[in-house]
């Protein structure tokens, strides 16, 4: 039996209960979690913004130690330290064969089938990962090995926030040295995007969030300016950029209004990269003149347009060289029973990442 935070109803409490993980099947790996970050996508799955079969164990930003491997698994063994990939590519579909593994047709296969039982009931793993549990069972291709000297609590953040935020800047937006970047929304993902902009050599890095408590952390991670969202934002950003607007905006909230704002703060010919995952009921509006006139590009971005197998080692090099601050993204630590309080903080825009730590 494995302790897990189980969600039985939309917006319901996450009760810490014993579940029975499925046996580790062929090609699968059982992992003992060391830490799991609470991401806004977990909250979106919990409140119905994103679809989730129930009952479910959420959590998709995890790292831990392999405890068992199934038949046919090679290259990974008990004792190995791993970061979990919540969209593991099949390596053989059209997207995988065309260099876009983050759009793999099978990336969500594991989310569609139960990974455990509770009594007679099947239990699903949020984003196929189920990291709010002491142990989980995932495909071997969802495990990215990390060297044993990397603290697992920091490695966990690579699994979603950092791959997504840094990847959005370097892989999707492809920010060039000297360019100006506005990052809208300063949770774990946006604060990672700020670090990505710094790594890319951006000149001005404007951090945007309604919560003034985010300013200090954003500036310490590389932002050059902090601004509140609102009607004046585009004008204020033009004021910083010779009157033209930002070369890039990175949207890390997931709302129609902020996607629209990301587009509006860029210069003519600029690029807005949308990382946030919002509701299918929340529209984004453009008028028929401005799209052609401003000649901007809007880019959607899944998982930072990364291949975790390739990009996690690159991020670890930045980490080792002191260029990527993972620990600073964690503002709260809780046990398994604390996911609900992490959701409350997130709803209020308080703190950055909450990390669930396993004893
Ligand atoms: N303008 C700018 N920032 C905003 C606005 C707004 N109008 N409204 C909210 N925010 C800020 C919040 O104050 C918070 O700091 O956006 C931030 C969101 O942070 P988190 O809730 O911690 O979200 P995070 O986990 O970083 O994910 C961001 O990326 O992967 C997706 O599903 C995820 O859509 C979510 C987004
Ligand atoms: Zn996430
Ligand atoms: Zn594929």
Q: Domains of the chain: which residue ranges? A: 2-159+326-357, 164-303
Question: Over the stretch 43-52, which tens digit does the pLDDT of each residue have?
Answer: 999 999 999 9
Distance CA 167, CA 263 (A): 19
Look at ligand 1, atom 30, and give the residue with the nearest C-alpha.
276
Atom of ligand 1 nearest to the CA of 353: 22
Beta-carbon neighbour count of residue 20 at 10 Å?
12
Class of the domain covering 2-159+326-357: alpha beta
Question: Over the stretch 303-357, which tens digit does the pLDDT of each residue have?
Answer: 999 999 999 999 999 999 999 999 999 999 999 999 999 999 999 999 999 999 9
Residues 6+ apart with CB under 8 A from 343: 38, 42, 43, 46
Q: Domain 164-303 is classified in which CATH homologous superfamily?
A: NAD(P)-binding Rossmann-like Domain (3.40.50.720)
Distance CA 317, CA 323 (A): 9
Which residue in this structure is represented by tokens 């990527």? 324
Burial class (CB in 10 A: 0-12, 13-18, 19+), 296: buried
Q: What are 167's two structure tokens?
A: 């990847």
CA-closest candidate to residue 36, choices 120, 118, 158: 158
Please, which pLDDT band fits residue 359 given cuts at 50, 70 and 90? confident
pTM over 0.85: yes
Residues with CB under 6 A from ligand 1: 39-41, 44, 164, 184-190, 208-211, 214, 229, 252-254, 258, 275-277, 346, 349
Sign of the torsion formed by the C-alpha atoms of 147, 151, 156 and 158: negative
Identical fold for domains 2-159+326-357 and 164-303, yes or no, is no
Beta-carbon neighbour count of residue 309 at 10 Å?
16
Distance 161 CA to ligand 1 centre (A): 11
Q: What are 338's two structure tokens?
A: 């604390």
């Amino acid at each position: 039996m494995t302790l897990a935070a189980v969600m039985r109803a939309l917006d319901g409490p996450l009760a810490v209960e014993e579940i029975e993980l499925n046996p580790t099947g062929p090609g699968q790996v059982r992992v003992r979690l060391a830490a799991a970050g609470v991401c806004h996508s977990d909250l979106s799955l919990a409140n119905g913004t994103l679809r989730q079969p129930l009952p479910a164990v959420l959590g998709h930003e995890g790292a831990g130690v392999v405890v068992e491997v199934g038949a046919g698994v090679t290259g990974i063994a008990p004792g190995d330290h791993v970061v979990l990939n919540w969209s593991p590519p099949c390596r053989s579909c059209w997207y995988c064969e065309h260099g876009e593994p983050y759009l793999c047709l099978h990336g969500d296969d594991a989310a569609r089938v139960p990974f455990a039982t509770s009594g007679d009931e099947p239990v699903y793993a949020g984003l196929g990962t189920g990291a709010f549990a002491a142990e989980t069972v995932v495909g071997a291709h969802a495990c990215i090995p990390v060297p044993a000297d990397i603290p697992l609590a920091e490695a966990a953040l690579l699994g979603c926030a950092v791959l997504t935020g840094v990847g959005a800047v370097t892989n999707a937006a492809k920010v060039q040295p000297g360019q100006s970047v506005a990052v809208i929304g300063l949770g774990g993902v946006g604060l990672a995007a700020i670090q990505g902009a710094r790594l890319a050599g951006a000149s001005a890095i404007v951090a945007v969030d309604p919560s003034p408590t985010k300013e200090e952390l954003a500036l310490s991670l590389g932002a050059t300016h902090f601004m509140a969202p609102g009607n004046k934002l585009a004008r204020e950003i033009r004021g910083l950029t010779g009157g033209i607007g930002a070369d890039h905006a990175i949207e890390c909230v997931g709302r129609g209004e902020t996607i629209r704002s990301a587009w509006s703060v860029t210069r003519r010919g600029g690029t807005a990269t949308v990382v946030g995952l919002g509701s299918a009921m929340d529209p984004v509006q453009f008028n028929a003149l401005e799209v052609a006139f401003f000649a901007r590009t809007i880019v959607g971005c899944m998982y930072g347009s990364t291949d975790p197998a390739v990009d996690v080692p690159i991020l670890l090099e930045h980490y080792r060289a002191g260029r990527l601050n993972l620990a600073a993204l964690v503002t709260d630590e809780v046990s398994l029973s604390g996911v609900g309080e992490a959701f409350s903080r997130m709803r209020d825009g308080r703190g950055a990442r909450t990390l669930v730590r396993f004893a």
